[in-house]
Amino acid sequence: MNLGQIIDMARGRLDDAGKKGSSDTKKGWKNPDLAGFADDAESEIARQLFLLEDHDTIGYIKLTAAFGQIDSVSVSGVAITSGAVAFTTSLERTAVLLAANISAMASTPKYRAKARGTIVVVKAVPNTGYPAAGYSIAAVASGGLTAAVTDMPGLCRHVIAIGDRFIDLHSRVWRITRFKPASQGRPIGLATRLELDAGIPDWETAENGTIQCVIPDYEAGEAILYPPTDEAELIEQSCYRLPLVPLTDDDMLALPEIGEKYHIGMVDWIIRQACLKPDIETWFKELGKQAEADFEARIERWRIDIKDRTPSASTNRIPAGFM
C-alpha cells in the first residue's frame, strides 16, 4: 500500500468508531497528522524488528513531474549513467529505467541503484575504488522533469583522512553491525569507552596507527576511531537504519520502505497515536487501547516469524577452506 491507502484504512476505522457518538473524525485528524503518525509507525516497526539493514547506500534521487528526461547522473564528478533516460509511462517506470541504467554503467568507482516508487537509491559497489573527496551525487534533468538529490554521508561509507579520530554518523543510523576499513582484510570490532578504559590506558591520546576498533556514540551522532588512522582510506559500514525517506502528506503516493505485510501494523500505530489526544472521546480511547494491543501482538508474531526464517549458526556455515 502507498501512504494514502494506509491513511485511508486508518481513517476508515476511526470513522467507524466515530459513528458511535461523534461526527468530527474527519475534522479531528488531518492528513499531516496522520502522515506523521505513519512515518513514526514505519520507523517503530523497522526498529523493533530490525528490518532495514543497509550495507552500501550513499544517497537517493526523487523524481517528480510527468514529462522530460534525466540527462545525467554523476557521483563526485564521475558519470554513472550511459546517457539520458526519458520519462516513460510513469514516474515509477522511469525510476526503474534510471536504476537499471546506473547499475549497467561501467564506471570507476562502480555504482548500482534500486528503484522504489519514484525514488532511486544509489549504492556504492565494494572494492571498486572510492572518491577521495567523499560521495556527492548530482543529477541533471530537463524538459520539466525534476530529480532532487539527497546525499547520505555517514550512513554506509566514510572517507577518512590521516589523523581522523571522530567520524559523523548519519541520523538514520541506529545500530552499526559491521565496520571495515578498506585496507584491512576483515571488519574491526565495536567497543565502548568503558571497555577501552579498562584495557588500554590513555587510549584517547593514542598516536596515529592502524585502526583497531570503533566506539559508536549514537546519541552524539558520531563514532571514535582507535587509534586515529595513519592513512587516508575508505570505511565500509553496515548498519540497521531508519527509513531513508520520511513519509509526509506532500506525497500520498509514497511507498513505505518496510514490506507490505507490515503495513497493517502501521495502521494500528496510526490509530493508537490518533486516539492519544487528551480531549478525545471515551470510545476513541478504547479504540486506541485496542489498536495498541493489536500492534504489540503483531510485532510479537512477526518477531517469531523472522526468528524462524533466520539461519542458525549451523546452517549456511562458511566451509573451512574459505576461512
User: Domain of 139?
Assistant: 54-152
Give a yes or no: residue 286 inside a domain: yes
Q: Are 224 and 268 part of one and the same domain? A: no
Asked if residue 314 belongs to a domain, the reply is no
Same domain for 233 and 266, yes or no, is: no
Q: Please, which residues have CB within 8 angstroms of residue 181's CB and are 6 or more apart in sequence?
A: 188, 211, 229, 233, 234, 235, 236
321 domain residue, yes or no: no
User: Domain check: are 147 and 113 in the same one?
Assistant: yes
Residues 229 and 177 in one domain: yes
Are 52 and 258 spatial neighbours (Cβ–Cβ below 8 Å)?
yes
Measured CA distances, 254 to 249, 250, 269, 302 (Å): 9, 9, 18, 24
State the Cα–Cα distance between residues 151 and 112, nearest whole angstrom: 15
- Higher-confidence residue: 223 or 286? 223
Burial 106-125 (b: 16+ CB within 10 A, else e): ebebbbbbbbbbbbbbbbbe
Can the peptide bond before residue 256 be classed as cis, meaning omega within 30 degrees of 0? Answer: no
Residue 18 confidence class, pLDDT cut points 50, 70, 90: low
Which pLDDT score is estimated for 322?
44
The reply to whether 319 falls in a domain is: no
198 and 116 in a common domain: no
Query: What local confidence, expressed as pLDDT, does residue 280 receive?
Result: 64
Query: Does residue 38 fall inside a structural domain?
Result: yes
pLDDT one-digit tens code per residue, 46-82:
999 999 999 999 999 999 988 999 999 999 999 999 9
Q: Are residues 124 and 175 in the same domain?
A: no
- Among candidate residues 224, 240, 256, the one where a domain is terminated: 240
Q: How many residues does the chain have?
A: 323
Q: How many C-beta atoms lie closer than 10 Å to residue 160's C-beta?
A: 20
**Whole-model pTM above 0.85?**
yes
Same domain for 66 and 138? yes
pLDDT at 286: 87
At residue 16 the predicted structure's pLDDT band, cuts being 50, 70 and 90, is low
Among 222, 201, 196, 225, which residue's Cα sits nearest to residue 213?
225
Percentage of residues in the chain having pLDDT higher than 90: 83
- 286 and 236 in one domain? no
pLDDT at 111: 98
Strand partners of residue 237: 179
Q: Which residue has the cell 553496515?
A: 238
Number of domains in the chain: 3
Within this chain, do residues 42 and 91 fall inside the same structural domain, yes or no?
no
